[in-house]
Structure 1
């Protein structure tokens, strides 16, 4: 379970990690009230489970309560990479003297834990990792021995006061059964304090039975909505929506779409035994994404039969009303002929059938207008 920033900071507070004072608002009036209670300049931050908020205009400053209401009005409802800002975090504006980066994560490549630290943090951390790899240190962590925050801080060139914060971030990682604990930026202020200005935490759902974690919000993003329907969906940044059955086939389809000159808009695996209802839910989710300009359904029938997939497509098209974006379908395997006949008989103008995977990907890419 990925947490919103404000939920991550709730965990940070529990473990003694300094964070700015603030509160969560779902209306402009609430944002104004929180700003008035803080009585200092504030920052209005969109609460979405994706990066790039700052560049998208989802983080704004306000000098006082009236300005906080105005900025919250602008941010609430904002669409950031398919995630709708249903709430904002209103925090005291903390001016950093220096920005750093700190994270603990499960390193699946090594099967262990990893600390990632840099004396340089902020919005360009991804670019930094590419342009100056030495600026981001990676230290394997022995889970039994734990970490020595002072040693890690010194190795990364962080201020001495960051050592205790790193110890407590590792405490969050262990005590909360987290898969990722990230702070970017971790700031040092002019008066020597070290503060978690942002927070990203991903928790292991398998450990939910032994925790009183913050409760998840109602489904707001496409990923949340897909998860609530039992779909394995990941939002990407392209224009071709992709549906397939089986993770391997979907990954291959993403590659073929890219080779055809377009970028996939998502990963969506309906699974090996998907029903017509699941197929319909998947298509509805993808067509809810405004970035999608064409859809590619690539199914090899096995346990999931092609007639069930075709029935799901027809069901979704009936329930969605007018669908103008083209849907390219490639069906092969179990009951493929029956599935193709169901789609042909439906005669929906948005549906195009192509017999091969490469041909279907090429048509979907062309219909999307490319990357």
Structure 2
């Protein structure tokens, strides 16, 4: 499986500066076109592909797909933490924040301080390998609770919740249960909890608007949340200031009108075009959102103020804040409408997964997966109709 990255690259977490193809300050800091990540080459000359990517604002952690498992860190870290982390051998899962690297092994979970040269983890937790819950390691979710991005690391969860996956936003948490129910808690100042208000929640509270509909995955951005139903429908809620929900954003429309007026040399006096349009700054309840009417959503990920979704046809769609090229449309523009990243279709590549950092995006592409047709077709009957 191949991985491509685009967006914020000021700390070389996507593309190193010694590549002559990307020269100049602007090209180093911002990559608006998908750039393939290179796997780690060991002493024997073997190149290990990445099986998983996790990203924070200035760092990227890559889990290698070799038999033993190891983690490679790129970006803003000291020399002792850059490259392959020798203590990660045998790692099964990885999670990275601006301060710590979390590694999950078969029998334990470790948190390493990325600013320290210590050769021992700053926190560790053992896992009972005989327990059925030991198979539930899906960072930041761990048996009995979840791992936060900073101390205190471990936060307990009631076993009655039967947590399946968990996502950490900028100030909130969203959890998916084994039954497909969604719970949120934390700060709610931008409607990111989905309860209809802007108040915080100290304890997990079910998102009642989704009750009765089974969800298959969840993701949390800086101040917005998304989830996918078993039927492939996408639900969004929270802050929409940069169009990250895919709903009409007044700020983006005003910016677009201002640029148009400046280009035409006119004053923005006649702006009646969008006066009747309903703009949404905060969506406090989950809203059903169609990325494309032609196919369902397979997986989704949230950045700080942008969103990326992979469809069942193998296409990647992005929308929201794009100032660092994190939308992958070979521009630095923002958009409140989903747009397909044409790079992958032009290269006849089938996107199978996506992971957003706060200001960048990483897409996984299958090595030998055929690209789906431009428009899905219905199966023919025995008469060829």
TM (normalized to structure 2)?
0.23
Larger radius of gyration: 1
Higher strand share: 2
TM (normalized to structure 1)?
0.24
